[in-house]
Structure 1
Amino acid sequence: MCGRCRCTIRPDDVPRACHLRDTSVRQVDVDRYRPAYNVSPGSYLPVLRRESGGDEGYTAAVHCMKWGLIPSFTKKDEKPDHYKMFNARSESIGEKASFRRLIPKNRCLVAVEGFYEWKKGPKKQPYYIHFKDGRPLVFAALYDSWKNSEGEILYTFTIVTTDSSSDLKWLHDRMPVILGDEASTDLWLNGSSDTKFNTVLKPYEKADLIWYPVTMAMNKASFDGPECIKEIPLKSEQQSNPITKFFSKKGTDDDKESNKTIKESTKNDVQSDVKEEAEAQANLQLSSCGRTVTEIKSDVTTLTPESDSKVEVKRDYEKFLADSKPSTGELGKLPQTPLKKSKVKSGAEKQATLRSYFTKS
């Protein structure tokens, strides 16, 4: 696609820019041309076309035409829309009636210093595309004439486009057909109706086509002047959006705080597990002894995460059994109230039953 361009070329320089030499060229309506850095459809530009013959012997003409094709079959009372067909796809110009009938005799060349394209995004960024050495770009184009209701004849043209080059696909999927040498411009301008134009209607792939970002003021068609082609630096995402950096830093602090919380939670879980295991052991032994829960809890509170839980619990348990054994003088005395048996018999309960048996005997 090509919707904006820079054209400050003098009409006298157009033939040389199009590699046309030793040829008689006349000028038509060039007084309508206004050089500009930001040209849009509906503006007048100098176009090089073949001369259809004449007594003066001219073979070509620099004809000032409006950008944006108005087909000759358009109704006379219809208001022309130059934005409707300011580009013509090279793949379909042989199929659409608006373009197909123009190929045999209405081919022309448009010379400009460069054109603009916009990178899509939250904010469209314009880029200026031109030749590295500053020579003009020559576009393949088609022109037509239309007579309005007042009898005025208006000449208009459309720029032929093709797929974008491999180097410019990141910017846009279309680009104008650039005729980069004398052979291609001569073929498009002077070729016969039987000529196969597919050889020149293709992307421009040479490395001398360069680009750089320009001011976003270019988004307005009314903006004009040398500032249009002044290169600007692009700010990085972090620089252009400081709030992104703020949230990124906050996210880092949150991650650290989260890691700290996880460590503390893990430490508390270990302590809780040790206490729960000791209490479970104590509750199992409670059925066979007279120690109170308060005494057992006091033992549990002495445990720390740094000690080996299994070894300490076993050692306390053995000490607990030793303290719970009755003395020799008490063997003959039966307990006043027999211990209530629990559903699961522990080792301590079995030993108490054997003592009772031997006492009876």
Structure 2
Amino acid sequence: MCGRYTLLAEEAEILKEFGITSHIEGFQPRFNIAPGQKVVAVIDDGKQRRAGFMKWGLVPSWSKEPKAGYKMINARSETAHEKPSYKKLMSQKRCLIIADGFYEWKKTDNGKQPVRIQPAGRSLFAFAGLWDRWEGEDESLFTCTILTQEANEFMRPIHNRMPVILPRKKQNQWIEPVKWAPHKAKDFVEQLTMEDLTYYEVSDYVNSPKNMGEECIQPLV
């Protein structure tokens, strides 16, 4: 799964990396992004590629109320094309969720040890995401979820699931403003080449989403 991550880059770096021309209003680097919070996501409607904030935790457009989002922070890429909550989104509401590292908790003899995981060859990257818009009487919510897949050999000792990290050359294709058959999105993910990852141990300070300081990413000595 993916339940916590970081985005420490400057706004200008994000705009350049993902081909965004407009300002991301309210953007600030963050050390401990948690479910229920607003996250930076990129979509392309065919006229403009835009980056903005969505709430992490998907609320399907047909939900009676927005509470569903607390349970839908991740979606399994292997089955999302079959699920009512995700099927349509796999077809036409795919997004990039921008990050530069994510946390996982590795089981050890002394309990769970938090680690920060990053691609070995780059800093900024994008999770494969799905998004939707929910309309209530008094509010409109843009929400998203991160696709996950079975852990690769590197991740398996840490966790049995991992987020889908899009290779740089595949990011544009994932959000192209073209309607796909839902199973095409599933096949697209399955055919991705996983890049090498690296990790280091961090303090259990990161365990609480209330802790948002630089101490979250400091390596253990």
Q: Same fold (TM over 0.5)?
A: yes
Compare CA radii of gyration and give the structure with the larger one.
1
Where is the helix percentage greater, Structure 1 or Structure 2? 1
What secondary structure does 2:171 align onto?
Answer: helix
Partner in structure 2 of residue 286 of structure 1: none
Counterpart among 164, 184, 189 of residue 175 in structure 2: 189
**Deviation at 1:130?**
0.9
Partner Cα distance (1:119, 1:67) in 2: 23
Say whether 1:148 aligns with 2:142: no
What is the correspondence of 1:1-361 to structure 2 with a 5 Å cutoff?
1-18=1-18, 20=19, 25-26=21-22, 30-51=24-45, 58-75=47-64, 78-121=65-108, 123-150=111-138, 152-182=139-169, 184-190=170-176, 192-194=179-181, 196-197=184-185, 198-201=187-190, 205-207=194-196, 209-233=197-221
Measured in 1, the distance between the counterparts of 2:190 and 2:14 equals: 21
Report deviation, 1:227.
Answer: 1.3
The one-letter code matched in structure 2 to 1:84 is K
Deviation at 1:140, TM superposition (A): 0.5
Q: Secondary structure of 1:231's partner?
A: coil
Between the two structures, name the one with larger relative contact order (CA 8 Å, sep ≥ 6). 2
2: CA distance, partners of 1:46 / 1:167:
27
Shift of 1:229: 1.1
Q: Is the Cα–Cα contact under 8 Å of residues 103 and 115 in structure 2 kept in the other structure? A: yes
Ranges in structure 2 where 5+ consecutive residues have no aligned partner: none
Structure 2: distance between partners of 1:11 and 1:108: 18
Are the equivalent residues in 2 in contact too, given 1:48–1:62 (CA < 8 A)? yes
Contact persistence 1:164–1:203 (CA under 8 A): no
Does the 8 A contact of 2:25 with 2:52 survive in 1?
Answer: no
Which secondary structure state, in structure 2, belongs to the residue aligned with residue 80 of structure 1?
A: helix
Percent identical pairs in the alignment equals 33
Query: CA deviation digits over 1:60-113, x for unaligned, max 9?
Result: 1112111111111111xx353533101010011111111001122211101111
Paired residue total:
217
Measured in 1, the distance between the counterparts of 2:190 and 2:53 equals 24
Aligned-residue offset at 1:224? 1.6
Q: State how far apart, in whole Å, the 1-side matches of 2:29 and 2:101 are.
A: 13
Q: Which amino acid aligns with 2:211?
A: F
Q: 1:227 to 1:201 in 2, by over 3 A?
A: farther
TM-score under structure 1 length normalisation: 0.55
Q: Name the Cα RMSD after superposition.
A: 2.2
Q: Which amino acid aligns with 1:74?
A: S
Cα deviation digits, residues 331-358 of structure 1 (max 9, x gap): xxxxxxxxxxxxxxxxxxxxxxxxxxxx
CA distance in 1, matches of 2:67, 2:168: 34
Tell me which protein shows more strand as a share of its residues.
Answer: 2
Structure 1 residue 178 displacement after superposition:
0.7
Within 2, Cα distance between the matches of 1:42 and 1:33? 17
Alignment-mate amino acid for residue 126 of structure 1: P
Contact 1:177 / 1:202 at 8 angstroms: preserved in 2? no
Q: Does the C-alpha gap of structure 1 residues 6 and 137 become closer, same or farther in structure 2, counting only changes over 3 Å?
A: same
